[in-house]
Chains A and B, each alone.
Chain A
């Protein structure tokens, strides 16, 4: 087993560190959270540094890399920036467009991305009554005599849905009955007649606002279709495993930043005449936080390595998502505890990290759904032959 990073991966981490030192400090981060976004210049700079091109195919002007390296980028960016940025979501949206879009859609999307660093579309997948239970989806398109389609329904938790000019919507074909497995994806302009949005306020990750989205008799044309008719569900499933792993990478980076702060603070904070680092109850916290980080990181990179090597990670990615997201929230929670009263104020950043991390126990599949995904497979795997 080789746990060494390559020179290139180490230099990438150095560059991420330099980039974050120049572009992120607590003052700026607080402004980003308050303004629910970051400057166009920063988004552009991320692209120009090549970070935003990683994981995008070479023929689209990207910098191909393996998933392990994409994981390192994601983890270390969250670590050194000390916050949850929209960059991972942007990359994932572009990968979806490239995987499923028509050549015209990809060209349009990449041209805009190369100019601005922003994807052209948000992802409208979840619904109020249909998150992991995709079959319960209400959004439906019905074909009209003139060859157009009418879209009706509602999406929710659409990240940056009010920011980007298009939304990638998944909707059932013709009939929204539970039994109907036929779904298609559509690239719908945000300004189209019949589409309205309403903002939702989050308790964490506020740099990326999300919204509700309503479709009332929205007229779609065939050229808005993304991917093949009826294959929307298959597409939806295709990138979920990568998404889960990279969410974990972001969580570990953020939790590591909380650990950095808290584990340094124990040497500085004096109670009863001694640094709190000398108390075993504090040492126990540090030991358990470090175990959680190391376990999560080991699981993450092993899972990414398996994906890079074409191995199935259906069980691994679900176990990883459940374990690591829960543990990373705990790390941030313990970091707050170490800070005591200060940890519950906005004078430190660990509280913000805790709120941000808490969201990842829900986004991309809840802790509980991960049990459901992995549990059934585990029973099968261990069944006596």
Chain B
């Protein structure tokens, strides 16, 4: 039996983000959605819960008051979690990794009796890959990232980590925090039954106990400048064209 918490970030849907001529990102028309990497995390948690048996998956999300949105909450709960704990508080809007980890740790302490925290590989917006490690640090437990496969027995988690050139298998004492790669599990497509059941699952939405301290100051977020295409065309049948093409590529990099 395990209590598994999946930490979820709610992000603006990148398909709805508009970029102004000055490179500013306009997110005012963007719908709130589950960060894409976290879909794999929910699925991995649900599969582990099923493998272990008699286990529970709780989704935990922290963000501004806008994340308290009915369809979004049902969406999270239609994907394999049994319960949702959500801190929807404008004091928690746009937190950096440090502050997010602080709020998550406080909420995890309140949930209590958590065996495993599962995070996505990174967030779909900033992709800093920091929250999982900082959260483990605050909780004083092991952090295992890059996880492509995991199982649990007794008080031990066995995880395969995908590193640059090897797959490393590690064991960690539970409780611990893992960050899973998208390869770990293909997210389920919520079926109609899952969707209908989601609205009946517990949703605990609240405010943060205290404003979390951020340590990063965001100066600006801008889209990369569009560069003019060079429109140099190589004809592969010309003598030396391939070499020239390779040389042009190397020069551009």
Contact = CB atoms under 8 A, between A and B. Distances in A.
Interface of A: 7-8, 10-12, 14-15, 18-19, 22, 48-51, 53-54, 63, 65
Contacts of B241: none
A7 B70 contact: yes
B193 A63 contact: yes
Given A10-B71, A11-B190, 10 more contacts: A7-B70, A8-B74, A8-B196, A8-B199, A11-B75, A12-B195, A14-B75, A14-B190, A19-B189, A53-B193
10 contacts: A7-B70, A7-B199, A8-B196, A8-B199, A10-B71, A11-B71, A11-B190, A19-B189, A50-B194, A65-B192
A53 B189 contact: no
Contact of A49 (B70, B75, B189): B189
Nearest to B73: A7
Chief secondary structure at chain B's binding surface? helix
| Most-contacted residue by chain A among B71, B74, B195, B199 (CB, 10 A) | B195
A15 B189 contact: yes
Contacts of B74: 7-8, 11
Nearest to B195: A11
A118 to B, nearest CB: 18
A126 B201 CA distance: 48
Nearest to A5: B71
Contacts of A63: 192-193, 196
Nearest to A45: B189
Contacts of A8: 74, 195-196, 199
Contacts of B78: 11
Contact of A54 (B75, B189, B192): B192
A49 B199 contact: no
A18 B189 contact: yes
A41 to B, nearest CB: 14
Contacts of B240: none
B114 to A, nearest CB: 28
Contacts of A53: 192-193
B189 A7 contact: no
A289 to B, nearest CB: 24
Contacts of A12: 192, 195
Contacts of A10: 71
Interface of B: 70-71, 74-75, 78, 189-196, 198-199
Contact of B193 (A7, A19, A22, A50): A50
A285 B143 CA distance: 59
Contacts of B194: 50
Contact of B71 (A7, A19, A51, A54): A7
Nearest to B192: A50
Given A8-B199, A11-B78, A63-B196, A48 B191 contact: yes
Contacts of A18: 189
B191 A15 contact: yes
B196 to A, nearest CB: 6
Give the 8 A-B residue pairs with the shortest CB-CB distance, closest first.
A50-B191, A50-B192, A7-B71, A49-B191, A18-B189, A11-B195, A50-B193, A63-B192
Contacts of A14: 75, 190
A12 B193 CA distance: 10
Interface centre among B70, B74, B189, B194 (most CB of A within 10 A): B189
A200 B74 CA distance: 46
A11 B198 CA distance: 11
A24 to B, nearest CB: 13
A7 B192 CA distance: 12
Given A7-B70, A8-B74, A15 B193 contact: no
A19 B194 CA distance: 14
Contact of A15 (B70, B71, B195, B199): B195
B80 to A, nearest CB: 14
Most buried by B among A11, A18, A48: A11
A12 B198 CA distance: 12
B69 to A, nearest CB: 9
Given A7-B70, A7-B71, A7-B74, A15 B196 contact: no
Contacts of A51: 191-192
A102 B46 CA distance: 40
A14 B196 CA distance: 14
B188 to A, nearest CB: 9
A48 B192 CA distance: 9
Nearest to B70: A7
Contacts of A49: 189, 191-192
A318 to B, nearest CB: 30
A18 B78 CA distance: 14
A19 B189 CA distance: 7
A34 B116 CA distance: 49
- Most A CB atoms within 10 A — which of B191, B193, B196, B198? B191
Contacts of A15: 189-192, 195
A15 B188 CA distance: 9
Contacts of B199: 7-8
A255 to B, nearest CB: 23
Contacts of A7: 70-71, 74, 199
A15 B196 CA distance: 13
Query: Which of B191, B192, B194, B199 has the most CB atoms of chain A within a 10 A radius of its CB?
Result: B192
A50 B193 CA distance: 6
Contacts of B195: 8, 11-12, 15
B16 to A, nearest CB: 14
Contacts of A65: 192
A60 to B, nearest CB: 14
